[in-house]
Amino acid sequence: DAGITQSPRHKVTETGTPVTLRCHQTENHRYMYWYRQDPGHGLRLIHYSYGVKDTDKGEVSDGYSVSRSKTEDFLLTLESATSSQTSVYFCAISERTHIGLYFGPGTRLTVT
Amino acid sequence: EDKVVQSPLSLVVHEGDTVTLNCSYEVTNFRSLLWYKQEKKAPTFLFMLTSSGIEKKSGRLSSILDKKELFSILNITATQTGDSAVYLCAVEANAGNMLTFGGGTRLMVKP
């Protein structure tokens, strides 16, 4: 398995609280991504990064921000969590942009 | 807006059966189509297709792309219970180079 870890793996939080999810890779891949997966919607891209401090928005970026200060870490922040952000969040990495994605184990986030 | 549709939504078969999963797409400036298998956790990569008519094979799994009719199929022969999973199709298009995923087909293989 590609060296990708996500933390936490499970989180329950209340509406309005800030939440940060962490993705850590040991593969030194340039590209990192945050996806969310919901029934009926498949996987949807939230944000991605093409290098340290270089990030861009995906399909469903509203309500989320990201940061990448080191090659190995990509953080996803929900500034003020809402119930619509209850989902499973996957981090992914690749050597080429958007191709050959290796996914992390996922984080199940529940916003009550 | 790019769109990827998979069918059927779910499928139940018995071990030894052959199954065909479908993926159709409407995207701007198609570049490639990818198949992933998702068991209980993260999706794992199966195939990437870029050219029409060239079949990709890996053991009992094979896939082919038709760029004229804008679809791909994933075939699994002699299915086993370990093939039970959600199969995801994704298309890379030039607009932003992002992947658009279909909703997946849930396959259950019964002994």
Contact A98 B45 (CB under 8 A): no
Q: Give backbone dihedrals phi and psi of A82, rounded to 5 degrees, phi first.
A: -125, 160
Give the pLDDT score at B109.
98
- Rounded to the nearest angstrom, the minimum Cα separation between B7 and chain A is 13
Q: Look at residue B92 and tell me whether its pLDDT is greater than 90.
A: no
Q: Which of B45, B48, B103 comes nearest A42 by C-beta? A: B103
**Cα B12 to Cα B19: distance, rounded to the nearest angstrom:** 10
Contact B44 A103 (CB under 8 A): yes
In the predicted model, what is the mean pLDDT of residues B73-93? 95
Q: Give backbone dihedrals phi and psi of B76, rounded to 5 degrees, phi first.
A: -125, 120
Nearest CA in chain A to B4: A42
Is residue A41 very low, low, confident or very high in pLDDT (cuts 50, 70, 90)?
confident
Give the pLDDT score at A97.
66
**Cα B96 to Cα A50: distance, rounded to the nearest angstrom:** 12
Chain B hits for A106, Cβ within 8 Å: 41-42
Residue-wise pLDDT for B60-70, tens only, equals 999 999 989 99
Residue-wise pLDDT for A91-109, tens only, equals 999 887 656 788 999 999 9
Rg over alpha carbons for chain B, rounded to the nearest Å, is: 13
